[in-house]
Copies of this chain bind each other. A is one copy, B any other.
Amino acid sequence: MRGTVGELGEFGLIRELTSRLTTTEAVRLGPGDDAAVVAAPDRRVVASTDVLLEGRHFRRDWSTAYDVGRKAAAQNLADIAAMGAVPTALLLGLVVPASLAATWPVELMDGIRDECQVAGAAVVGGDVVGGDAITVAITALGDLGGREAVTRSGARPGDVVAVTGWLGWSAAGYAVLSRGFRSPRAFVEAHRRPEPPYHAGPAAADLGATAMTDVSDGLVADLGHIAAASGVHIDLRSADVDVPAQMHDIGQAVGVDPLHWVLTGGEDHAIVATFPPDTKLPARWRVIGAVSPTSGPPLVTVDGAPWDEAGGWDHFTHG
Contact = CB atoms under 8 A, between A and B. Distances in A.
B132 A33 contact: no
B34 A139 contact: no
A124 interface: yes
A212 to B, nearest CB: 8
B34 A44 contact: no
Interface stretch (A6-14, A171-179, A287-295): A6-14
Interface stretch (A60-68, A86-94, A242-250): A86-94
A229 B315 CA distance: 43
Q: Which of A28, A79, A93 has the most CB of B within 10 A?
A: A93
Contacts of A124: 47
Given A129-B53, A135-B131, A141 B316 contact: no
15 contacts: A9-B314, A10-B316, A33-B83, A33-B149, A33-B151, A35-B47, A39-B43, A47-B124, A47-B141, A49-B139, A50-B93, A51-B127, A98-B316, A127-B137, A133-B135
Interface of A: 5-6, 8-11, 13, 28-29, 32-53, 56-57, 79-80, 82-83, 85, 89, 91-95, 98, 124-133, 135, 137, 139-142, 144, 149, 151-153, 212-214, 229, 312, 314-317, 319
